[in-house]
């Protein structure tokens, strides 16, 4: 497994099969061909709320990543967006629009970026096996259980549960070219 990290020192885990590459997705010199060498699938859990206020940082990266995936033969791609990011051609439900305009206002740029990524994948990358996870994350706390794919509900999960879900979902054939949310099983 290979991880690209802007700040590798933040990574608390080490594993003999984990290779950490220091780098930024905004670096034009980032060697995507080298990063994708021998890679079957890519998971992107990227966010820079401040930079995304002025620029579609993630979209610019995904527009470089997708051609590199085609070159290397990497088929699978999971992109983590948010529950407040609207899928192409659909408006968010009114309560979610209100949340986005009020308490989540400072994340609006991030959601616009996520929405541009989804439009790009929808319109220009249908040849790849991508999937978008519209996550709801509330804390960095311990696991609250197993998240499952859900079209109709998004639980407020923890970072660790979303990360585990992303890794599972990457190899779920049923999730290909979907942009569903994730929810804990009832009763949790």
- From residue 67 to residue 106, what is the string marking binding to ligand NAP with x (rule CB under 6 A)? -------------xxxx-----------------------
Dihedral pair phi/psi, residue 106, rounded to 5°: -70, -10
Q: Name residues contacting ligand NAP, limited to 145-174 (CB under 6 A).
A: none
Shortest Cβ 32–ligand NAP spacing (Å)? 12
Is the separation of the CB atoms in 109 and 49 below 8 Å?
Answer: yes
The whole-angstrom separation of Cα 5 and Cα 109 is 22
Among 1, 6, 124, 127, binds ligand NAP (CB under 6 A): 6
Going by DSSP bridges, is the β-strand pair 147-150/181-184 parallel, antiparallel, or unpaired? antiparallel
Tokens of 27: 């670096």
CA angle 18, 140, 178 (to 5 degrees): 70
Among 41, 53, 75, 136, binds ligand NAP (CB under 6 A): 136
| Residue placing its CB nearer to ligand NAP in the complex, 62 or 128 | 62
For 18-72, give the DSSP string: -EEEE--TT-TT--HHHHHTT-SEEEE----TTGGGTS-HHHHHHHHHHHHHHHH
Stretch that binds ligand NAP, among 19-27, 31-39, 63-71, 142-150 (CB under 6 A): 19-27
Among 72, 74, 114, 155, binds ligand NAP (CB under 6 A): 114
Among 25, 32, 78, 132, binds ligand NAP (CB under 6 A): 25
Residues within the interface to ligand NAP (CB under 6 A): 6-7, 10, 24-26, 45-48, 80-83, 110, 114, 135-137
């Amino acid at each position: 497994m290979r991880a690209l990290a802007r700040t590798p020192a933040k990574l608390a885990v080490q594993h003999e099969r984990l290779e950490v590459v220091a780098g930024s997705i905004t670096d034009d010199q980032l060697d995507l061909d080298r990063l994708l060498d021998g890679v079957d699938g890519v998971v992107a859990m990227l966010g820079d709320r401040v930079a995304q206020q002025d620029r579609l940082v993630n979209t610019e990266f995904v527009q470089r990543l997708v051609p590199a995936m085609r070159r290397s033969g990497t088929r699978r791609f999971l992109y983590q967006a948010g529950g407040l990011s609207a899928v192409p051609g659909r408006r968010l439900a009114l309560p979610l629009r209100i949340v986005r305009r009020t308490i989540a206002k400072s994340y609006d740029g991030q959601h616009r970026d996520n929405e541009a990524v989804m439009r790009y994948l929808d319109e220009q990358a249908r040849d790849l096996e991508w999937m978008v996870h519209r996550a709801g994350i509330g804390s960095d706390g311990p696991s609250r259980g197993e998240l499952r794919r859900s079209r109709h509900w998004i639980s407020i999960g923890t970072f660790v549960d979303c990360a585990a879900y992303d890794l599972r979902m990457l190899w779920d054939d049923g999730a290909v070219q979907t942009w569903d949310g994730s929810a804990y099983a009832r009763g949790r």
